[in-house]
Chain A
């Protein structure tokens, strides 16, 4: 089975931080993006794939496809380590609830600003719904951490929630 060395929530999905920092630091051979919109948009998929170094495979799945692939053969028979990316908390929770139990730790790595969103760790923002969803994951046994780049000291969900004051 392939092993998911890093499961990350990042609204920018594949970008500089992911490619330059995380791909190297965990020596991943594959990136799996779980996103319903992207999996159905070949042009946007190609944009995200173009900057990934040669030799690193990129797969784009809908939530449904990712769950099916995980349950079929745990995302393939390759021994390569894998990065799994979600655009938002909602998608990660939905995938996990539907049976994509490919990760025991989930890294919140980048969520941009917006109305009713509060910065909780560096530039990562959460709203009330994100908070509730992360608590659901945490209560289900997923360790939720906040970390943008490998050099960061990971932030813990319970401390983040205290700081949210919600």
Chain B
């Protein structure tokens, strides 16, 4: 049994013991969607990169904010992209405080979706793997941790690795 809380809504995946008591009950059995909102086509390219690494991925979409596009026009496109996604889906955005992130925030108001900023390839890969078991806020937190841990100073990491080698000898 997988049980987790997404804000105030509880989702329980419990085979043979289903409680039909939530609006989003059905959603809990559907794979959470992944949506990327970015300045320019970064999101579209991240999807290509993810698929280059793990192969075709379902329920993953990008909406690109292009130069000259109004905020409302962008929000409209995002709305089309997320409308049919199940509760607990995750919206990625690039810069915290930027229009893609602010737009993502709008779609968290009814608590159906979670949203994170600072998207990188690590985070999206983590989401692709973990969403089979987690969704919503739990998924968001794990993804953020993966994103932070994925950022490394390679020179320091090499020095550390060398230092450890010497220490062991």
Please give the residue numbers on chain A whose beta carbons come within 8 Å of chain B beta carbons, in ascending order: 11-12, 14-16, 19, 43-44, 47-48, 50-52, 111-114, 119, 123, 125
Is A11 touching B71 in the complex (CB atoms < 8 A)? yes
* A16: min CB distance to chain B, Å: 4
Is A114 touching B109 in the complex (CB atoms < 8 A)? no
- Whether A113 touches B69, Cβ cut-off 8 Å, given contacts A15-B102, A43-B109, A47-B106, is yes
Q: Does B38 contact A (CB under 8 A)?
A: no
The docked-state distance in angstroms from the alpha carbon of A15 to that of B67 is 14
- Whether A51 touches B97, Cβ cut-off 8 Å, given contacts A15-B102, A43-B109, A44-B106, is yes
| Chain A residue with Cβ nearest B71 | A12
- Whether A125 touches B106, Cβ cut-off 8 Å, given contacts A16-B99, A19-B97, A50-B97, is no
- Whether A47 touches B102, Cβ cut-off 8 Å, given contacts A16-B97, A112-B73, A113-B73, is yes
With contacts defined as CB atoms under 8 Å apart, how many contacts are there between chain A and chain B in the complex?
Answer: 48
| Chain A residue with Cβ nearest B39 | A16
Q: How many B residues face the partner with a CB closer than 8 A? A: 18
The docked-state distance in angstroms from the alpha carbon of A50 to that of B117 is 12
The docked-state distance in angstroms from the alpha carbon of A48 to that of B27 is 30
Is A112 touching B97 in the complex (CB atoms < 8 A)? no
Q: Does B96 contact A (CB under 8 A)?
A: yes
Q: Does B118 contact A (CB under 8 A)?
A: no
- Inter-chain contacts of B105 with A (CB < 8 A): 47, 50
Q: Does B150 contact A (CB under 8 A)?
A: no
CB within 8 A of B99: which of A12, A111, A123? A12
The 5 closest A-B pairs by CB, nearest first: A51-B97, A112-B70, A16-B98, A123-B68, A47-B105
The docked-state distance in angstroms from the alpha carbon of A11 to that of B69 is 10
Q: Does B138 contact A (CB under 8 A)?
A: no
The docked-state distance in angstroms from the alpha carbon of A125 to that of B68 is 8
Q: Does B50 contact A (CB under 8 A)?
A: no
Given contacts A44-B106, A51-B98, 9 further A-B pairs with CB under 8 A are A11-B70, A12-B102, A15-B97, A15-B99, A50-B97, A51-B101, A112-B72, A114-B70, A125-B68
Q: Does B146 contact A (CB under 8 A)?
A: no
The docked-state distance in angstroms from the alpha carbon of A125 to that of B109 is 30
* B102: min CB distance to chain A, Å: 5
Is B96 touching A51 in the complex (CB atoms < 8 A)? yes
What are 6 A-B pairs at a CB distance below 8 A? A47-B106, A112-B72, A113-B68, A113-B69, A119-B68, A125-B68
B90-131 vs A, CB cutoff 8 Å, 1 = contact: the mask equals 000001111101100110010000000000000000000000
